[in-house]
Amino acid sequence: MVRWKLFAIGAFGAASMVFSSDAASAQTGDLEQIDRYTREIFGPGLAQVNSVSELSDVDPNSWAFQALKSVVERYGCLEGYPDRTYLGNRPLSRYEFAAGLNACLEKVNELLAASSGNKVTKEDLTNLQRLQEEFRNELAALRGRVDALEAKTRDIESKLFSANAKLDGSVVMAVTGGGGGGSNTVLTPSAATGPFGDSAFSQFLGPLRAIPAASANVSFVARTTLNLRASITGKDELLIRLRGVTGQDLGAVFPNQASNFGTLFYALGPGNVAYDASTPNGRVDGAAPVSIDKVRYLYNFSEGFRAFIGPRVDIYEFIDTNSFSNEETDFSSGFTINNPMVTFYFTGPGGGFDWDITGNLAWRAIYFATTGGSAIAGPFGSTGLFGGTNVIATEFEFNPSKTAFIKLQYVRLTELGTLFATGLGELANGSNSDILGVSAEWAIVPQVVLFGRFGQLWSNLNGRPAESTFNTVTGTTYQVGLGFPNLLAAGNAAGAIFGQPIRFTGGQYNGLDFATAGIENVIEVYYRLQLSDRFSITPDLQFVIQPANTRDSNGLTIGTLRATFQF
């Protein structure tokens, strides 16, 4: 019903009906209340038209052109949409016509107050009196609707906990299980994360562990999220997120899966730590310790430029997003929702901006430090907001069409005492990594979407002993997938993805290779059944080849049934 006022005015104009002051005053009390309500609700969406030629969809040769021109020139009560369209072919109800009648009555009163009464004729008065009589019941009904809506609005406002804040949330529940059969085993590094895999350097840090592939149980996983969103000025948003996770995925049994982001990003991994960094001490008895895991303030300086800052911001809210980046409703693996190189460290104190430069070009940047709230130096040097492990990331997005984009990314990653979260102890005080990424998406047709990501890194160690030798570490990651929106029914969706999590491909430390012999690959498919706009059920199937970049590992198969509630 957003457009009813506009079309009522248009139909009124097409009928070439005009009005007088006496008739316009007959129902002033009723109409003022209706007009106030309609202007408050719909006024910002309409724009005054000073000439019919401003309306792009009104043909000057059409029969309606002269009627609309008369309404504009004599009474100035014609409005169009901000995009300068009129949409005059839309049908309208008697109620809508009555509301349009009211709008022109107001304009007539303004003309008379400005001593323009000579524009009103006796014939106009007769027409208006007839219209008022014919639509008396509809106008009275509109007044009743307005009274009921105002009463309901007052009741809702009286129950709000805050006039400028709202609460929304989600609950994800999943049953997951899988592994491998028989005497199959999965090899995993004992002292390194996934990228190191079965490299000589990884085995120098500690021997590979052989884990029976059938040792994982079926488990129940749940994540609850509550978002408190407040606006102080109307152009900003203060977001406070509360989150709790319970239950483990198979990554708790077979560590280092999917670049150490696990098979279910909304679950607990090794050590009962949530992959999304929300729950450091999770539980497996159904209880979910809750923490404030995200606080950020965002301000819209203009329609195309916004900046954000906070003690806990998420890089993946702004950088490297696509249509399938929501692990609650799309792919579940932590590897598939982002480029794991670009978002390897993804949260901490910091800030950034998001700038839509033109309609098809955007620029984003973010800086944060993982221990940015620390005032105490760590064992390898300073921490705090500008020390320790920190990330500088930037992204340029180009949209060649409304159905496609390409994003180019650069990340400067500085780590304190580690290389990709692997503690190196006396071998080095830390590392610097330069990362290039590209992400692209193309809706070939509305029902088929092609997308992909690629990343390349170069890492150097800092503070290593003088007698050691070192060559730059290199690594890659990629993924390619297909999405099928509205498959079989509106709201449903399916997706399939194949990719390689982070893998080191080159570099040496004292003659020990960083390159892995194994190459982990992940295949994931899902189908989301959208039962309502707030509830969906999603079966999900994953296949992991050479898990944790170890060549002699047997593959894993993981099945998950997920339910998502949004409110």
Mean pLDDT for the stretch of residues 533-538:
96
Together in a domain, 129 and 196: no
Together in a domain, 381 and 424: yes
| Separation of alpha carbons 522 and 288, rounded Å | 29
| DSSP-based three-state secondary structure for 185 | strand
Q: Residue 103 burial (CB < 10 Å; 0-12/13-18/19+)?
A: buried
Q: pLDDT digits over 467-486, tens only?
A: 889 999 999 999 999 999 99
Q: Are 18 and 38 in contact (CB under 8 A)?
A: no
End-to-end, the C-alpha distance of the chain in Å comes to 25
Residue in 457, 439, 489 with CA at minimum distance from that of residue 336: 439
Domain total in the chain: 2
Residue 356: CATH number of its domain: 2.40.160.10
Together in a domain, 106 and 209: no
Distances (CA, A) of 205 to 271, 310, 352, 423, 478: 20, 37, 37, 10, 27
Mean pLDDT for the stretch of residues 543-560:
95
CA atoms within 13 A on the CB side of 129: 7
Q: pLDDT digits over 63-78, tens only?
A: 666 677 766 666 666 6
Together in a domain, 204 and 316: yes
Q: How confident is the model at residue 13 (pLDDT cuts 50, 70, 90)?
A: very low
Q: pLDDT digits over 450-462, tens only?
A: 999 999 999 999 8
- Cβ contacts of residue 272 below 8 Å, gap of 6+? 248, 252, 279, 281, 282, 283, 284
Q: pLDDT digits over 195-229, tens only?
A: 899 999 999 988 999 999 999 999 999 999 999 99
Amino acid 532: pLDDT: 94
| Separation of alpha carbons 510 and 117, rounded Å | 96
Q: How confident is the model at residue 382 (pLDDT cuts 50, 70, 90)?
A: confident
Together in a domain, 294 and 429: yes
Q: Are 294 and 241 in contact (CB under 8 A)?
A: yes
Amino acid 43: pLDDT: 45
Q: pLDDT digits over 252-308, tens only?
A: 999 999 989 999 999 999 999 999 999 989 999 999 999 999 999 999 999 999 999
Together in a domain, 110 and 134: yes
Together in a domain, 442 and 315: yes
Selected residue with higher pLDDT from 111 and 32? 111
Amino acid 413: pLDDT: 96
Together in a domain, 27 and 170: no
Q: pLDDT digits over 170-197, tens only?
A: 999 999 999 988 789 999 998 777 789 9
Query: Is the confidence at residue 16, as pLDDT, over 80?
Result: no
Encoded tokens for 134 = 């014919």
Together in a domain, 137 and 251: no
The percentage of residues in the chain with a pLDDT greater than 90, rounded to a whole number, is 60
Amino acid 212: pLDDT: 94
| Separation of alpha carbons 169 and 177, rounded Å | 26
Selected residue with higher pLDDT from 151 and 441? 441
| pLDDT averaged over every residue in the chain | 84
Looking at 108, 136, 159, the residue that finishes a domain is 159
Looking at 130, 159, 188, the residue that finishes a domain is 159
Encoded tokens for 69 = 């021109």
What DSSP string runs through 368-396? EETTTT--S-BTTB--STTSSSEEEEEEE
Looking at 107, 137, 159, the residue that finishes a domain is 159
Q: pLDDT digits over 82-117, tens only?
A: 666 766 666 666 666 666 667 677 777 776 666 555
Query: Is the confidence at residue 384, as pLDDT, over 90?
Result: no
Give the pairing of strands 512-513 and 418-419: unpaired
Together in a domain, 144 and 203: no
| Separation of alpha carbons 255 and 399, rounded Å | 38
Give the pairing of strands 493-506 and 430-445: unpaired
Residue entry with tokens 């406002």: 157
Together in a domain, 21 and 139: yes
| Separation of alpha carbons 285 and 220, rounded Å | 9
Q: pLDDT digits over 34-63, tens only?
A: 555 455 444 444 455 667 666 777 677 676
Amino acid 49: pLDDT: 62
Mean pLDDT for the stretch of residues 11-24:
38
| Separation of alpha carbons 156 and 397, rounded Å | 41
Residue in 530, 177, 138, 490 with CA at minimum distance from that of residue 328: 530
Q: How confident is the model at residue 558 (pLDDT cuts 50, 70, 90)?
A: very high
Amino acid 17: pLDDT: 37
Q: pLDDT digits over 130-156, tens only?
A: 776 777 777 777 778 878 888 887 777
| Separation of alpha carbons 370 and 389, rounded Å | 6
Together in a domain, 307 and 182: yes
| Separation of alpha carbons 222 and 173, rounded Å | 4
Query: Is the confidence at residue 315, as pLDDT, over 60?
Result: yes
Residue in 474, 473, 556, 483 with CA at minimum distance from that of residue 520: 556
Amino acid 2: pLDDT: 35
Amino acid 159: pLDDT: 66
Query: Is the confidence at residue 430, as pLDDT, over 50?
Result: yes
Amino acid 253: pLDDT: 94
Amino acid 270: pLDDT: 92
Domain that holds residue 41: 4-159
Q: How confident is the model at residue 424 (pLDDT cuts 50, 70, 90)?
A: confident
